[in-house]
Every structure is written in structure tokens, then in C-alpha cells.
Amino acid sequence: MFRLIKILLIIAAIASVWGCERDYMFRGGSEGLYFSSDTVMFDTIFTSIGSTTQHFRVYNPYSSDLTIDAITLAGGDNSKFRLNINGFPENSLRDMPMRANDSIFIFVELTIDPSGTSTPFVVTDSILFYTRERVQSVKLIAYGQDVVLLRKEWLKTQRFTKQKPYLIYDYVVVDSTETLTIEPGARLHFHKNASLIVLGTLEVKGTKEEPVTFMGSRLEEWYADKPGQWGYIHLMPGSKNHSIEYAHIKNGTMGIVVDSVGINETEPVYLSNTRIEHIAKQGLLAQTSSIVANNCIFGDCGSASVALTVGGKYEFYHCTIANYFRWAYRSAPALLLSNYYTDKEGVTRTKDLESALFANCIIYGRAENEIGLDFRRPKGGGLDVINYRFDHSLIRSAANNDALANTTFYRNVIVNKDPKFIAPFDFNFQLDTLSVAKDAGDVAVGRRFPKDISGNSRIDDGGPDLGAYERKEKQ
């Protein structure tokens, strides 16, 4: 009996709720609606591609259920903006109900048509809210930028300039025997998985004041340090005479891949004053190649910041190879050296590591060991050339004391001492005033590279600092 009464009471309660429909007759008072923001602003948007989605909330400040007479884009069908009003993909909606003291979401996107100009331009509109007592608005502001659009292009000899950004889909290829020269201030933006493939020659001619930028196609601040937004720069076998000066390469799946370049008496790949960071895998991946790098920073990579594999010949001067990657677990060290690969038959093949010199460098990170030495003997025994040396450098290594005492490989090194970067988790690898890396470099190397990546002199104090930055005390 009691169970039956309980069921009847529940049914009656449900029926009373269903029977009491909200009438939403109230159309608003003099206070109007409240908004979480009075302006929705987008970062620079490339023409022809859509933006990310922004949103804000609209609040009913009254104790009564409310109907908004209309919500509409002021620009109507000609607007560059698009709305989703609380789940309705419409740019205009009438009689929008809102419960007492409740809120709704407005989502905003836009696509901007090319303007024919090289300078950024402003796109504006507003969303109008009509209630019985008031007409209110939320402003919409975006900055547009025309681009040079490239998709699956095979490039002949030409120059990229800073006049307009370059937006690359899928890939662009620098054809063999051709040269791509990238001038100071040029910006190359890559859509998801897009890459730059070089069969010929790549010359990047950035300056301290106007570096050349390689990055993803999203310019919103949230994407600034997100890895994996595009592919990589691939210097292919047979390509030659590459030089990269004052480049900023970021947000890729990899940074630069160097495959069998600079060998057979051809010029090495020259990297100078270049920063590679926010990379999903390796920042610099080389195999059987020759590279000379100075004043470079390799950091924030999901695998090795620098991986020099399958032998080769390498020289790094005043470079900072650091890794404090925080997006996922990282098993690889900041620096990896190896001399082998496994062929299709599963056979291990080795190549000579003719030299790998790290002079006046810092190799450090959050792991206990940031130097990986992975060497194999050739099949059938014998010895390959394995020639590496850390000279006047600060390293983080798990090698034992006997190994570190071998002056063939380690000379005047500082081991497992924190370099005291100013803010390594914010990608600032400048040295604090108390850093043990100050004045610890080889003076002869400092004279070869008398200015750091910021243009500061290394030779006007007690000695050159290790790494890419020279500490300058405030006067």
C-alpha cells in the first residue's frame, strides 16, 4: 500500500512539472542583458582560411524567464563572421528564450576574403541584441592578412620576400639545381602536415632585426608554443650548399631533417643564429651528413633536440641544446649520437662518425642524462671511426667518472651543474647572473664567434660564456 502511494506521489509530481510550462512572456527591463565580454577580438587571420572559434556568454540578470526579441549580425548576409547561437548555426534568431538568472553561449567564427593589399587590415562587425527596452551590441574585431598561397608547388630559382606571408599547403619542393633564397623578415606558414622539401639549395638570409620565420598557419596566441602543427624542412640527398642564418623554426612535427647532405667533399650545412623549438619529435635530425652550427638554440622537443645519426661530421660552437619538453613524456636525451641503421633485411649497417665537436656549448635538460651515445660495431667485427668531443662545455650526463676522465672525448667540461637558465620552462635560455657557464668558454672559440645570438660581444669581459647567449649585467 505504501509503495503504491509513493508511486502515485512521484507520478503526480512529474505531472505537475509537465503541466507548469514556462511562458517566457517577460521581454526584458531597462537593465538589459549582461555579457561576459563587450568585444570579441581575433588575432591576425590569413585570408581564405577560417579562424578558430571564439565565444562569449549572454546572461539573463532577472528573476523571471525572458525572451530576447532578436539576436542578429549587424552585417547580415554580407558579414565575414558566422554565429552559432546556443547550438543554432544561424546568424539571426528571433524569440530566444532564457531562463531566469541563466545564460546562453554565442560562438563566433570568420573567413576573410583577400583584399589585394600587403599590409594587415581590420574587419569589424557587431552582434545586436533586441529586447523590449533596449538594443545592445557586442563588437567583433579581426585583423586580416593577405598571403601568397602555395600548394604542391615545384619551385624554380626564386626569392621569398617579407612583402606578404607565404601559406603552404601539402608541400613545396625546391627542384634540383634550383635555389630558394628567403630574404630577411620573410614568414613561411605551413598548414597541417605541410613541409618544405629541398632537392636543390636553400639559402635563408635572416638578420637579428628581421629573422625568417617558419611556423604553423594559426596565429592565435594559444598556438604559439604548441608542437606538431606542420611537417618539417627536409634537405634531401643530393641537395647542397645550404645556409640558414637567423631563422626561427617552431611548432613543427620535426624542425630540420638533413639526409646525406654535405658529404663527398661538398659544403656542409651551415646553421647560424637559429632557434628551433616547440617541436613534436626531433628539432634537428641528421643522418650521414655534415653540419656546422654556431649561436643556435635547440629546445622544447618531444624527442631529441639534436639527433646526429648514422655517422657523419658535425661541429657545434656556442650552441644551447636544451630540453624541458612538457607536453608528453620524453624518453630520448637532448642530444643523441649514433653510427648505425638497420636495413630492410634487418642487418645493422654502420657509418663512420668522423667527428662531432661541441665547443663552448650547453647540453642540459630536466632528465638525469641528456647525452645519448648509441654506437654499434660493424658486422664481422672491426672498428669504425667514432670521434666525438665535448670541449669547454656544460653537460648533463650519466656517464661514470672514468668515462668523463677520458680527455679524448671530454675536455674542460662542467658536468651536472645547473646552468641556471633564466626561465627554461618559458623557453628563455639566457643565463642568470650566478650561472657556472659564465666566462667558462674557450677564448679562442669565443674570438671565432665574437657576438652571441642577440648581437652581444663575447670578448669584452672575463671570457666567453657557454651556450648561445652572453650574459650582460646591467650597468
CATH number at residue 422: 2.160.20
39 and 80 belong to one structural domain:
yes
Residues of the chain with pLDDT under 50: 1-20
Same domain, 199 and 305: yes
Domain-located, residue 469: no
Long-range contacts of 84-93 (CB under 8 A, 24+ apart): none
For 146-198, list the strands marked E by DSSP. 148-155, 158-160, 166-174, 179-182, 187-190, 195-198
**Domain end point (choices 144, 169, 185):** 144
End-to-end CA distance of the chain: 91
Closest to 209 measured CA to CA, from 162, 268, 148, 256:
162
**Residues in contact with 388: Cβ distance below 8 Å, sequence separation at least 6, in sequence order:** 337, 353, 355, 356, 357, 358, 373, 409
Q: Could you tell me if residue 147 is left (phi over 0), alpha (psi between -120 and 50 degrees) or otherwise beta?
A: beta
Confirm whether 16 is domain-assigned.
Answer: no
Last residue of some domain: 144, 165, 196? 144
Q: What is the pLDDT of residue 7?
A: 45
Which pLDDT score, from 0 to 100, does residue 347 have? 84
411 and 307 inside one domain: yes
CATH at 114: 2.60.40.2310
Amino acid 343: pLDDT: 87
- Please tell me the distance from the alpha carbon of residue 33 to that of residue 56, in angstroms, as a whole number: 13
417 and 369, same structural domain? yes
What's at 373, amino acid-wise?
L
* Residue 65 pLDDT: 92
Q: Quick one: 212 and 291 in the same domain?
A: yes
**Does any domain span residue 435?**
yes
**Does 181 lie in the same domain as 43?**
no
Do residues 233 and 138 both lie within one domain? no
Number of domains in the chain: 2
Tell me, yes or no, whether 140 and 179 share the same domain. Answer: no
- 270 plus 396 within the same structural domain: yes
283/139 same-domain check: no
Q: In this structure, is residue 400 part of a structural domain? A: yes
Residue 10 placed within a domain: no
Output Rg (C-alpha) for the chain, integer angstroms. Answer: 30
The answer to whether 172 touches 196, Cβ cutoff 8 Å, is yes
Pair (392, 282) in one structural domain: yes
Cα(78)–Cα(276) distance, rounded to whole angstroms?
Answer: 42
Residue 9, pLDDT score: 38
Residue 2, pLDDT score: 36
> 77 is in which domain, residue-wise?
34-144
Residues 250, 133, single domain; the answer is no
pLDDT the model gives residue 103: 95
33, burial (CB in 10 Å: exposed 0-12, middle 13-18, buried 19+): buried
Q: Is residue 455 part of a domain?
A: no
